[in-house]
Chain A
């Protein structure tokens, strides 16, 4: 069974600085997707960024980028120029091609200090 591990329960970053959230996963599949979702307090889950496993190029969405290391089964999220609105719980999630569900990690709480 696929598993997703987020080893950092909580992270803090100063406003305008850069922070990296870690994620590792376990799978025997070769075709899959990886996602980072953001869940602000008492608000709904928002998709931040996606990565297809067959793509070698790391995905980037504005201030958000990933470092995808397929062989190491690692998928970290880098947030540049952190803003107060980035404060949230961040979940790493795995989706198998032709699969039926997302498998989530336990999440990392990101606090942004002004």
Chain B
């Protein structure tokens, strides 16, 4: 399978805990994006990497969120001190030009 993969697919955590998600993009894609999607809504942009450089961050990305893409390959998104409002689907996408290809997402539930 050469598509975008994300792990884990589901994560249940207690409020206040830290969580980390991983995204493996399509191998030749140099651009990687993170989005957040709540139930019944369209995805909202969180952050964007070109190779290993994080070039843009949304105001949605509070100080508790951090993303990395070491060596320009896979990426991680960490949420510290999770809150119930962080419950959502976290989507990763990659691209070379124009259209973005999405992974299956990580569904986070904060209890």
- B26, chain A: closest CB distance, angstroms: 13
Interface residues of A in 85-114 (CB under 8 A from B): 91, 93, 95, 100-107
B42, A107: Cβ atoms under 8 Å? yes
Residues of A within 8 Å of B93, CB to CB, are 45, 102
B91, A104: Cβ atoms under 8 Å? no
Residues of B within 8 Å of A91, CB to CB, are 42-43
For A106, the closest partner residue in chain B by CB is B42
Residues of B within 8 Å of A35, CB to CB, are 99
B42, A105: Cβ atoms under 8 Å? yes
A-B contact list, 19 entries, CB within 8 Å: A33-B99, A45-B43, A45-B102, A46-B102, A47-B100, A50-B99, A95-B98, A95-B99, A100-B45, A100-B48, A100-B55, A101-B33, A102-B33, A102-B43, A102-B93, A104-B43, A104-B44, A105-B42, A106-B40
For B46, the closest partner residue in chain A by CB is A101
A55 at the interface (CB under 8 A from B): no
Residues of B within 8 Å of A47, CB to CB, are 99-101
Number of A-B contacts (CB under 8 A): 53
User: Which of A4, A35, A104, A106 has the most C-beta atoms of chain B within 10 angstroms of its own C-beta?
Assistant: A104
A sample of 9 more A-B contacts (CB under 8 A), given A46-B102, A101-B48, is A35-B99, A44-B103, A91-B42, A95-B98, A95-B100, A100-B45, A101-B33, A102-B45, A103-B45
A45, B91: Cβ atoms under 8 Å? yes
Residues of A within 8 Å of B101, CB to CB, are 47
Q: Which of B41, B45, B98, B99 contacts A101 (CB 8 A)?
A: B45
